[in-house]
Chain A
Amino acid sequence: MKRFFVPAAVLVSLALASPAALAQKKYDPGASDKEIKVGHINPYSGPASAYGTIGKAIGAYFRKVNDEGGVNGRKIVFITYDDGYSPPKTVEMARKLVEQDEVLLVFQPLGTPPNSAIHKYMNAKKVPQLFVATGATKWNDPKNYPWTMGWQPNYQTEGSIYAQHILKTKPNAKIGVLYQNDDYGKDYLKGFKDGLGAKAGMIVKEVSYEVADPTVDSQIVQLQASGADTFFNITTPKFAAQAIRKAYDIGWKPVHYLNNVSASVGTVLTPAGLDKSVGLISTQYLKDPTDKAWANDAAVLAWTAFMKKYYPEGSLIAGENFYGWNVAQTMVQVLKQAGDNLTRENVMKQAASLKDFVLPGALPGIKLNTSPTDFAPFESVQLIRFDGKEWVRFGEVMGK
């Protein structure tokens, strides 16, 4: 009897132990001992193809990671498709990645309409739609869409930061707002009003424009006539340049807050006139690799070296390549944290538990934090002011 008991006991204990042994390595489609398949959709053609270089920078960074041994010994297989910024094509490509290529997750689809088109699908399929490249606030909705997460500071966060700054520095301000009449503009406006809270009455005039409008001249005149002494300018590049120029030309000199969307010196401030742009206030969250202040910064040097080795044809003055390098590192961090438990559920769990993660490319003091109820990685930014030549950072890092 005893002779039978011992092997039986061994078998039983083995049977009990084996689930625990298996639990150490768990895989969903797209992950194995050797590789992790990461899907990606980007506009390499079409109206937004200027952003195509982000996909190439991300691919280059994953090549570097693979050359250095991969993530926990696994190589990243990066599968990237072109959607031409056309939502139906995004749906097709997302389905291809999930159903045919069987990727573990879909990373960084770009643009609000393309991401909206696959939002429901990704969540129904329970496949992570991670670090989408758009600033809309709706990607931070873990309750209804637990498989989707944004990355950059969203429009509402940024809007509320300008509000905080106004409350602190100019509590009696009379604020005029110009916004683009669509979800992007309204998103900013909501964040701004939420930031003002009970003092939303400080807004003396709100005017909007349509993307199809030729100019915003009459709106600027209306704002000046309202007697506003503070101006929150929620416009896309072309209109931002017009607004800056018109306000200066008619002699309206408010404290001028310009949304980050249009904070480019090359495409907005130069056409508006650099002398007319002095004193503008905006925000930043990543270092600007073309800024002389960062010329000897370790992160910018590392990025330059990386670009030269892995993406030599890529531009060293394109912010998109710096962005791609940073967002790819966030992805690698999540995969590292996931360890040997490479299920889709665990990937989302790890993405939602970034704790004070410091990206080398982020401005000093800005850290990434997420939690099961907070799917917005970047929630703090630094205020910047234009001195006639370049943006200068001032004050403390603001936000959460």
Chain B
Amino acid sequence: MSRRQLIVLAVVLALACALPFLVSNYRTFQFTLVLVYAIALLGLNILTGYNGQISLGHGAFYAIGAYCTAILMDKFGVPYWATLPVAGAVCLVAGFLFGLPALRLEGLYLALATFALGVSLPQLLKNHHVEKWTGGVQGIVISKPDAPFGLPLSPDQWLYFFSLAVAILMFALARNLLRGRIGRAMVAIRDHHIAAETMGVDTAMVKSLSFGVSAMYTGVAGALGAIAVQFVAPDSFNIFLSIVFLVGIVVGGLASITGAIYGALFIQFVPNIADELSKAAPWAIFGVFLILFVYLMPAGVAGALRMALARWQAKRQND
């Protein structure tokens, strides 16, 4: 990282830490959800943005992560923080296993297969064989953790900082992964998989792995989301969630790590703005916003910022 990038990062982190003390608990809760979505979007971006595999079913992994946490907390009394690695591991395995057969599917066919996963999971959660674990349609209510060590923070503030710490860790890991050999292999497969194979990239392995890692990120996000919302039910994870994730990464910026954050801000706040503008057709307003974004920033928010910065630098050099 350049010196300027480090300064920007430090300023952003300082702002993120100051935020819960500047706004109400309700806003803090909303920003916690932004962090949660950012992790989920980063997961989907690893798969779709970097590896070029389209998933319309990431809501399913989000749900698996959320249910892992809820069941562990509710039935086994596991502390909330300990459920995150479990949720991540379960989703890593689930994603990897789903990725293996999905290898035979390309582009739109893969999108359909993942769509099937996304639509079927909420119904499977209601199945009576698993009902005693998942609570059926009623879902599971979990309690919100208090700040530990007697820290003078409200539960919302504490959860925000906890999510922030998890998000920083996950983003740092993603950066290392994507900037390294595996990341380059992923991008190579996306851009030209035959060329990548000729270069000695184990296409099958890298693709399955991308699926697994991507699912793990989304699963961890689901787990955090469940703790923040304190409730999971099949209705929380309908197919719309998966579509919204896809919207988030496109608006934020495909194949961009910071894009996940912009996308998360978009999917958290724009529907609320739309709802305030019109009760009759909130999603029509949302659609207008979406079209505006796509037209004005075709490479997503991250791409637009990158271009603006490049233009500014070019201008400064010319002057």
B24 CB within 8 Å of chain A: yes
Question: In the bound complex, what is the Cα–Cα distance between A87 and B233 (angstroms)?
Answer: 7
At the interface, is chain A mostly helix, strand, loop or mixed? helix
- Is A113 touching B137 in the complex (CB atoms < 8 A)? yes
Which of the residues A99, A111, A113 comes within 8 Å of B26, measured between beta carbons?
A99
Question: In the bound complex, what is the Cα–Cα distance between A135 and B196 (angstroms)?
Answer: 59
Of residues 58 through 117 on chain A, the ones whose CB sits less than 8 Å from some CB of chain B are 80-82, 84-88, 91-92, 95-96, 98-100, 111-114, 116-117
- Is B26 touching A100 in the complex (CB atoms < 8 A)? yes
B231 CB within 8 Å of chain A: yes
- Is B233 touching A117 in the complex (CB atoms < 8 A)? yes
B58 CB within 8 Å of chain A: no
- The interface bits of chain B over 118-138 (1 if a CB of A lies within 8 angstroms of the residue's CB, else 0) are 000001001110000000111
Which of the residues A84, A111, A117 comes within 8 Å of B231, measured between beta carbons?
A117
Which of the residues B136, B143, B229 comes within 8 Å of A87, measured between beta carbons?
B229
Question: In the bound complex, what is the Cα–Cα distance between A119 and B138 (angstroms)?
Answer: 12
Known contacts: A87-B235, A116-B139. The answer to whether A80 contacts B279 by CB under 8 A is yes
A185 → B minimal CB distance (Å): 10
Sample of 5 A–B contacts (CB below 8 Å): A99-B24, A99-B26, A113-B235, A116-B233, A117-B233
- The interface bits of chain B over 30-51 (1 if a CB of A lies within 8 angstroms of the residue's CB, else 0) are 1001000000000000000000
Question: In the bound complex, what is the Cα–Cα distance between A210 and B240 (angstroms)?
Answer: 23
Which of the residues B25, B123, B231, B283 comes within 8 Å of A88, measured between beta carbons?
B231
B225 CB within 8 Å of chain A: yes
Contacts of A85 in B (CB 8 A): 235
- The interface bits of chain B over 216-256 (1 if a CB of A lies within 8 angstroms of the residue's CB, else 0) are 00000000010001110111101010000000000000000
- Is A120 touching B230 in the complex (CB atoms < 8 A)? yes
Interface centre among A87, A95, A99 (most CB of B within 10 A): A87
Question: In the bound complex, what is the Cα–Cα distance between A99 and B229 (angstroms)?
Answer: 15
Question: In the bound complex, what is the Cα–Cα distance between A121 and B143 (angstroms)?
Answer: 10
Interface residue stretch chosen among A41-49, A150-158, A291-299: A41-49
- Is B282 touching A181 in the complex (CB atoms < 8 A)? no
B74 CB within 8 Å of chain A: no
- Is B126 touching A212 in the complex (CB atoms < 8 A)? yes
Contacts of B27 in A (CB 8 A): 100
Q: Can you add 16 more A-B contacts, CB < 8 Å, to A88-B225, A121-B230?
A: A44-B275, A81-B275, A82-B279, A87-B231, A87-B233, A87-B236, A88-B229, A95-B25, A113-B138, A113-B139, A113-B236, A116-B139, A116-B233, A117-B230, A211-B126, A212-B126
- The interface bits of chain B over 134-160 (1 if a CB of A lies within 8 angstroms of the residue's CB, else 0) are 001111010100000000000000000
Contacts of A82 in B (CB 8 A): 275, 279, 282
Question: In the bound complex, what is the Cα–Cα distance between A85 and B229 (angstroms)?
Answer: 15
- Is B123 touching A211 in the complex (CB atoms < 8 A)? yes
B80 CB within 8 Å of chain A: no
B289 CB within 8 Å of chain A: no
Question: In the bound complex, what is the Cα–Cα distance between A84 and B239 (angstroms)?
Answer: 13
- Is B282 touching A92 in the complex (CB atoms < 8 A)? no
Number of interface residues of B (CB under 8 A): 32
Contacts of A112 in B (CB 8 A): 137-138
A374 CB within 8 Å of chain B: no
- Is B282 touching A44 in the complex (CB atoms < 8 A)? yes
Contacts of B238 in A (CB 8 A): 47, 86
- Is A113 touching B233 in the complex (CB atoms < 8 A)? yes
Question: In the bound complex, what is the Cα–Cα distance between A80 and B236 (angstroms)?
Answer: 20
Chain A residue with Cβ nearest B241: A86
Which of the residues A84, A92, A121, A210 comes within 8 Å of B127, measured between beta carbons?
A210
A182 CB within 8 Å of chain B: yes
Known contacts: A92-B33, A210-B127. The answer to whether A116 contacts B279 by CB under 8 A is no
Question: In the bound complex, what is the Cα–Cα distance between A182 and B238 (angstroms)?
Answer: 18
* Chain A contacts to B: CB under 8 angstroms: 44-47, 52, 55-56, 80-82, 84-88, 91-92, 95-96, 98-100, 111-114, 116-117, 119-121, 181-184, 210-212
Q: Across chains A and B, which 10 residue pairs bring their CB atoms closest together, nearest first?
A: A99-B26, A117-B231, A113-B233, A88-B229, A113-B235, A82-B275, A87-B236, A95-B26, A182-B137, A100-B26
Question: In the bound complex, what is the Cα–Cα distance between A182 and B139 (angstroms)?
Answer: 11
Chain B residue with Cβ nearest A124: B144
Interface centre among B25, B136, B141, B236 (most CB of A within 10 A): B236
Which of the residues A91, A99, A210 comes within 8 Å of B230, measured between beta carbons?
A91
- The interface bits of chain B over 276-292 (1 if a CB of A lies within 8 angstroms of the residue's CB, else 0) are 00011011000000000
Chain B residue with Cβ nearest A47: B238
Contacts of B282 in A (CB 8 A): 44-45, 82
Chain A residue with Cβ nearest B138: A183
- Is A183 touching B141 in the complex (CB atoms < 8 A)? no
Known contacts: A80-B279, A182-B126. The answer to whether A99 contacts B25 by CB under 8 A is yes
A183 → B minimal CB distance (Å): 5
Question: In the bound complex, what is the Cα–Cα distance between A121 and B156 (angstroms)?
Answer: 13
- Is B137 touching A44 in the complex (CB atoms < 8 A)? no
Contacts of A56 in B (CB 8 A): 279
Contacts of A98 in B (CB 8 A): 26
Which of the residues A87, A92, A210 comes within 8 Å of B139, measured between beta carbons?
A87
B81 CB within 8 Å of chain A: no
Question: In the bound complex, what is the Cα–Cα distance between A111 and B280 (angstroms)?
Answer: 20
Question: In the bound complex, what is the Cα–Cα distance between A221 and B147 (angstroms)?
Answer: 57
B293 CB within 8 Å of chain A: no
Contacts of B30 in A (CB 8 A): 92
Contacts of B280 in A (CB 8 A): 44
Contacts of B143 in A (CB 8 A): 120
Question: In the bound complex, what is the Cα–Cα distance between A86 and B234 (angstroms)?
Answer: 9
Question: In the bound complex, what is the Cα–Cα distance between A52 and B279 (angstroms)?
Answer: 9
Known contacts: A44-B279, A113-B138, A116-B141. The answer to whether A96 contacts B235 by CB under 8 A is no
A96 → B minimal CB distance (Å): 6
B178 → A minimal CB distance (Å): 29
B118 → A minimal CB distance (Å): 15
